[in-house]
Structures are given as structure tokens and as C-alpha cells.
Structure 1
């Protein structure tokens, strides 16, 4: 739990998250939705929207982790739908309370809970759809740039599918990469087992594959890596630092993920000079 909280904190304090917070805060402060432009001064609007956007990013990150417990594959539409529903149910009341607090004596200008919920749902839907479009466009661009050959639609579910179609520039990549969508490139930072799925974590994206954890590790041939826990395998090049919390040891990766080290796998990591 401590490692997961640390990971969320690292993600929220990353440069990308801070940039998103700044841009949305400035835009909302200038436009003044929810009648804030008519009731609050510029400085008050800055405070109002600064807190609002920070709260939205934090709640969204927590909701995403909770939804992932139900839908491990974050590529599925079910994940996005549940995440939007979660934001509407959790974030909308927070918006209403914060708005009434900031507007004070003129709280009658505050939108009702239904209007806020509709706004949160619309923003969440547009955000998730745009994210999918941009991700697909990026994958298409990389696919065209690399001149890779497309695999059949279900190829990622077939072990070893596409082995004969791999492009020369991907020949030195681990076999596991052939299971990922077209255009996805490495490096793989870590593998994590969740129920019957394996999370394949890359620098900017995560994919879930339905397969055995041991088989996924076996298909990372050619990449030096180690099991830090019975549910986590990490590539050596992805390890950025070793963190200690009392007797507990964690590996912090270059993408700020924090992976626990169990006693079972500690000796192997010590032999490799990592600990």
C-alpha cells in the first residue's frame, strides 16, 4: 500500500502532471466557468480553479487505480466508462462543496449537483476519447515510420504470432513485443501479474495480456531483468534507485513506478549488485 501511494504521489508531481495542472488552471481562470467570472475576482478565480484542477487530477488517479482492480486491461472501453462513472460519483459532490465555500454569500450562483455531474461526465468523456484518438494516431505514425507489417487483428492473443512478419529493425526485440499492438515500441520497463493478466509497462503506456506470468518473463529473452517479487519482474536498465522504508526495500524505476522487493528474491538482486 505504501509503495502504491508513493507511486501515485510521484505521478501526480511529475512534470507532465504539473504542466497539465498549470494549463487547465490558467485556461479556467481566464474563462471563468460556473459563474466564477461574474462572482470572483481574478486572484480568487486562480485559487478556486487551482484547487479544483489539482483535486480533479488526484481523484482521477485514485479512481483509475480502483477501476483497474475490476478491469485490469486499461485498453478496454469498460475501463474508461467505469472511470468516468467513478469521477461523476466521487468528484461532483466535491465540486459542489468547494464552489459553495468559495462563493459564500452568493452561493445562489453555484450550479446544482446535476449540472456539475453533467459537466464532469462530458469533460471525462471528451478527455478519454481524445486520449484514445491520439494514442491510435501515434501508433499508426510509428507503424508507418518503421515500415512494419501489420498482423491479423487477433494476432496479439496467439503465442508467437507474427514471428515471421517481424521487421528487421524489430528483430532484436524480445518476443513479448510481438503480442502488443502494431506500432508499439519498447523498452519494456516491468511486467506485473494481475489475476490472469500480465501488465506490460513501457515508458509512456501500459498494455495487459492474458497469459501466464512465467511465459511473459520467458518471452523477454535478450533483456536482462530480475524478479523483485512473485508478481513483479523489472528490466535492469529500468531501475533508477533503491529505496528503503525500515526493513522494506523498493526499486524505483525510471518512470517513477515503485516495486517492492520480497525476501525471496532479495538474495538474487544482491548477487546482481542491484541492492
Structure 2
């Protein structure tokens, strides 16, 4: 995939992570608390030092935390609390401690009452763990809340899964106005309504990651707390098929099939390759899809790299 496409997707993911309305509120509240309480050895700072130190460090911490979340979750594929939260905390501590200490020395005043390295590393590590804990608690309390940020509003989308023979399944009758979600989908709200507004575009694929499902559309990707079966059900109306325990693809996104070394892969329009399980391979090959020669730089390991896009 071209580097500019990866860069654009990264910037979109980072923008969604930073677009949550709660972020400026958290920044303001914690900045005021730091100025008033002077924790972690900053109580001896002059007032001007406190007014500079806490808003700047908390703002940098928020920006850095969002950056690390995108890297750890979307590029490295680590989405469960362990090891995601400790890893982000360690990376943030290593990267921000020297910067925060330099800022503390610049604003501490003549007395140079600067927090020790231990106090500063403890502050950064603890605040990062608290932030990750709150983020996962919110996602667990309201299933379907995007973990990487973004509002959850919008119109529902309906769809129909594809059978193993490649034909669309029977379309269920439209529910009555008093029953906006079909009974067989009562465990999941419509899939597109769970995504940030900027990501509501034609669906490409779904990928299961632990208790989450990463939804890939033509506008990017977002992770929601949802079972794979419920995500497929919520995509009702989009013709597609589940080719692997962890992968579902939209029929219109398939460019062709790739075979090599006893493995079957589906090449998709976004440049990714999705593995086909041995049990599903005969049905997929029976669809008569276009044969695409395997590429040297996109071997069987490519599906494991999908989270980085």
C-alpha cells in the first residue's frame, strides 16, 4: 500500500482519537487541579510556574497518549487492557519524563524546587494507567462505543450475508415501525451507527480481535466492542461472506483470490489480503473469483500486518 495512504489513515485515526468532546474537559479539569493542588513535588512552584507547567504537561500528555494509542492498537494490534495499558504507560513515561523535567526546571523559579526523576516518572505512569482504565471502563459499560474515539450517532444500515455458494441469502421482511431492529439482531445496533461519522462509508471487511471487532470501510477503520457474530448481523444488507473465524469480507470489495503454499488468500480493493480457512477454502474457490498471482512483498504474513493500516 502506498506510504501516503498509510499516512492518511494514520492521521485520520489520530484525528478520531483526539476528536472526543471529553478531551478538552479532562485537560481543563486536570490542569486546574494541578495548579491548585500542586501534586508530585510542584507545590513549591511559583504561581506563574504552576500556570505554565500543568496545562502544558497535561496537553502534551493527551496528545502523546492519543498518538501511542493509535500505534499500539492499530499498528501493533494490542487492544485488550493487558498489555495495551501498561505498554502505553511505559512508552509515555520514557518519552515524556525528560521533557517534563526540563519544563519543570524552566518554570520552578529561583529556588529550583524540581520534582525528582522518580516523582516525575511515577506521575506520568500513574496518569497514563488511570486514563487507559477509564477508557476501557467506558467501552465495557457501553458496548459498541468506539475505543479509538468518535461519536456514536447516525442512521442505521441494513444488509444480507452471502451464502457459501456466493448467492445472497434470503432478505428478511422489513420490521414494523415499532420494531426498528429485527429480532435476530437484537444483540447489536446497526453497524454503521456505531462508527464515527467520518467513517460511514461502504463496508470492506470485519476483523475480530479478542472481544473487539475492527470495522474497515473505504474511509478508514475503527474498533468497537462487539462480538463477531453480532457485527456480521449488524452488517445485514451488505453482501458478503465469513471466510475465516476472524474475518468477514464484503463481496464488492474482493478483487480476486490468491493461492500458494497450500494457503488461500482474498485480495481486497484496499490492498490488503485476508486469509481463508481450510474449511471455507472449497466454497470460496467455487465462487469462480479471478485468480491473482501471489506478490513477493505480500506473502501469507500480510494478514497479520492488517492492523497496521
Which TM-score tier does this pair reach, normalised by the shorter chain? 0.5 to 0.7
Q: Which of 15, 34, 42 is the aligned partner of 1:36?
A: 42
* CA–CA separation in structure 2 for the residues paired with 1:192 and 1:210: 18
Match of residue 199 from structure 1: 214
Per the alignment, residue 55 of structure 2 pairs with 50
Q: 1:183 to 1:131 in 2, by over 3 A?
A: farther
Q: Which runs of 5+ in 1 are unaligned?
A: 140-167, 233-275
**Quick one: distance in 1 between partners of 2:89 and 2:18?**
19
Distance 2:140 2:225 in 1: 16
Moved over 4 A (4+): 182-186, 190-198, 208-211, 216-219, 223-229
Please tell me whether Structure 1 or Structure 2 has the larger radius of gyration of its CA atoms: 2
More helix by share: 1
Matched, 1:106 2:111: yes
Stretches of structure 2 that go unaligned for 5 or more consecutive residues are 1-6, 144-178, 217-221, 240-249, 254-267, 273-309
TM-score by length of 1: 0.54
Aligned pairs, how many? 191
CA distance 1:95–1:184, shift in 2 (3 Å): farther
Instruction: Kindly indicate whether the alpha-carbon contact (under 8 Å) linking 1:199 and 1:209 is maintained by their aligned counterparts in 2.
Output: no
2: CA distance, partners of 1:194 / 1:5: 21
Q: Tell me if structure 1 keeps the 8 A contact 2:188–2:233.
A: no
Larger RCO, structure (CA 8 Å, separation 6 or more): 2
Distance 1:78 1:70, change over 3 A: farther
Aligned-pair RMSD on alpha carbons?
Answer: 4.1
Distance 1:195 1:219, change over 3 A: closer
1:3–1:72 Cα change, 3 Å: closer
Determine helix, strand or coil for the equivalent of 1:207.
Answer: strand
- TM (norm. structure 2) is 0.49
Hey, what's the Cα distance between the residues in 1 that align with 2:120 and 2:204?
Answer: 37
Identify if the C-alpha distance between structure 1 residues 184 and 104 changes in structure 2 by more than 3 Å, giving closer, same or farther: farther
Secondary structure in 2 matching 1:39? coil
Residue 182 of structure 2 corresponds to which residue in structure 1? 171
